[in-house]
């Protein structure tokens, strides 16, 4: 924006699709002209149970009609139930509810500094954790971090998944280390189970708190509840947001009993965090994911894509469950082609990787549409 261009009422953030959306149902969204689009972008990896899942809509509507809001100044049965559901589902012990992914990460990092008394953090090349100041400190995206360079906490950065670099690193003054167990924005990068085990062991040996940012990898997306179960490693803190309440804004900072026991009342707080609407949506979300076989569906969809895209313009399917990357030398043109076929997918920090993060109850019809569209794509010869 310059002084000569009019400043819009709604400030620009992302470049939007060239059509406004007015409706969503399951794995499709609809534009204002009635056009239907297969949503492999999942509303920014948020709509885990599909758009406007009837049980989530009903839970939110019923809750709104009975008690739309009360803060943590009052005990609410719906909040207690939401805490039970998400701790049981995640395998963690206690939860603090907030409102977004950045807020969950900010609190995890803040507590790591508080509980260890150390002044440095650690994170990984390509990691993306949000736009608040501690979250920016650990995010590897210079265009959004550089303007705030003077305000960021010193952070040791390591190559993701590299055992030798991990072994060589000095964690003795590191308060907490944060990672996306599968790096999404970086281009769906994965690491091995032995690397996760080595990371856990290194944190144990050095007193560094291990933080899994499961804002994209959680809520059943990998075919299991969270990446912690997928890789068999339990972090000290786990953060969740995006699909947590199917699109009702909510963040969660989950932790072990050992960490929770060191906190006192007042260390954490939020006016809207754990509000009844979000809690009702969370309960309905977990119930839908577990009760409707969505995790098995995610794993099955990934297997079908891997099988049916072999030999296509997609040279490799990266990731797990329904957090996938399609590697193609023609990624940008393929994304345009898919849009022309009414299929929404995401880009990534890797120009050769397109991201898929659709609803977990993705239909076989949607998968067929994607596979057919990819198979019909003819790249232009240079």
Residues that bind ligand PLP (CB under 6 A): 100-102, 105, 128-130, 180, 184, 213, 215-216, 241
Q: What's the closest the beta carbon of residue 166 comes to ligand PLP, in angstroms?
A: 20
CB nearer to ligand PLP: pick between 213 and 308:
213
Which positions ≥6 away from 16 have C-beta within 8 Å?
none
Q: Does residue 239 sit in helix, strand or coil?
A: strand
Place of tokens 């313009």: 313
**Residue (213 or 236) nearer to ligand PLP, CB:** 213
Burial of residue 264, with CB atoms counted within 10 A of its CB: 0-12 exposed, 13-18 middle, 19 or more buried: exposed
Nearest distance, CB of residue 357 and ligand PLP, angstroms = 9
CA distance 242 to 326: 22
* Complex with ligand PLP: residue 171 or 212, whichever CB lies closer: 212
What is the smallest separation between the CB atom of 317 and ligand PLP, expressed in angstroms? 20
What tokens were used for 272?
């809207």
- Widest Cα–Cα separation across the chain: 65
User: What is the phi/psi pair of residue 235, to 5°?
Assistant: -80, 175
- Find tokens 């990534």 and name the residue: 348
Q: How far is the CB of 84 from ligand PLP (least distance, A)?
A: 23
- Min separation Cβ 382 and ligand PLP, Å: 34
Q: Which of 51, 24, 28 is nearest to 344 (CA)?
A: 28
The residue (of 128 and 230) whose beta carbon lies closer to ligand PLP is 128
Q: Which of 174, 191, 250, 189 is nearest to 215 (CA)?
A: 250
Q: CB nearer to ligand PLP: give 354 or 373.
A: 354
* 379's tokens: 């790249």
Which residue's CB is nearer to ligand PLP, number 213 or number 320? Answer: 213
CB of 241 or CB of 277, closer to ligand PLP: 241
Rounded distance between C-alpha atoms, residue 374 and residue 333, angstroms: 11
Give whichever of 38 and 128 is closer to ligand PLP, judged by the CB atom. Answer: 128
Q: How many CB atoms lie within 10 A of CB 119?
A: 11
Residue with smaller CB distance to ligand PLP, 208 or 217: 217
DSSP per position, 17-66: -SS-EEEEEBTEEEETTS-EEEESSHHHHT-TT-BT-HHHHHHHHHHHHH
Question: CB of 252: closest distance to ligand PLP in angstroms?
Answer: 11
Minimum distance, C-beta of residue 215 to ligand PLP, in the bound complex (Å): 4
Q: Are 256 and 222 in contact (CB under 8 A)?
A: no
Q: How far apart are CA 177 and CA 121, in angstroms?
A: 6
Phi then psi for residue 330, to 5 deg, are -115, 35
Minimal CB distance to ligand PLP: which residue?
A: 101
């Amino acid at each position: 924006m310059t002084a000569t261009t009019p400043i819009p009422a709604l400030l620009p953030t992302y470049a939007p699709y060239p059509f406004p959306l007015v409706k969503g149902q399951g794995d499709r969204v609809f534009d204002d002209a009635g056009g239907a689009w297969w949503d492999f972008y999942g509303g920014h990896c948020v709509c885990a149970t599909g758009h406007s899942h009837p049980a989530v809509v009903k839970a939110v509507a019923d809750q709104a009609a009975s008690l739309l809001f009360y803060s943590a100044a009052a005990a609410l049965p719906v909040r207690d139930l939401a805490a039970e559901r998400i701790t049981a589902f995640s395998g963690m012990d206690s939860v603090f509810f907030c409102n977004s992914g950045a807020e969950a990460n900010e609190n995890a990092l803040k507590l790591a500094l508080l509980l260890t008394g150390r002044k440095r953090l650690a994170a990984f090349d390509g990691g993306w954790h949000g736009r608040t100041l501690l979250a920016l400190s650990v995010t590897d995206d210079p265009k959004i971090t550089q303007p705030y360079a003077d305000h960021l906490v010193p952070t040791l950065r390591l190559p993701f998944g590299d055992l030798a670099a991990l072994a060589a690193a000095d964690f003795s003054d590191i308060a907490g280390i944060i990672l996306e167990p599968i790096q999404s924005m970086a281009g769906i990068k994965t690491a091995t189970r032995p690397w996760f085990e080595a990371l856990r062991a290194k944190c144990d040996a050095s007193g560094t708190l291990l933080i899994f940012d499961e804002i994209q990898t959680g809520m059943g997306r990998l075919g299991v509840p969270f990446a912690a179960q997928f890789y068999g490693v339990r972090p000290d803190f786990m953060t969740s947001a995006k699909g947590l309440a199917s699109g009702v804004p909510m963040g969660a900072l989950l932790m072990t009993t050992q960490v929770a026991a060191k906190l006192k009342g007042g260390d954490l707080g939020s006016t809207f965090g754990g509000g009844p609407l979000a809690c009702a949506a969370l309960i309905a979300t977990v119930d839908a994911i577990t009760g409707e076989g969505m995790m098995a569906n995610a794993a099955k969809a990934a297997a079908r894509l891997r099988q049916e895209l072999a030999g296509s313009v997609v040279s490799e399917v990266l990731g797990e469950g329904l957090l996938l990357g399609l590697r193609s030398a023609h990624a940008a043109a393929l994304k345009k082609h898919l849009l022309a076929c009414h299929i929404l997918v995401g880009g990534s920090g890797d120009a050769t990787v397109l991201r898929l993060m659709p609803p977990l109850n993705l239909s076989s019809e949607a998968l067929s549409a994607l596979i057919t569209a990819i198979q019909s794509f003819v790249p232009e010869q240079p």
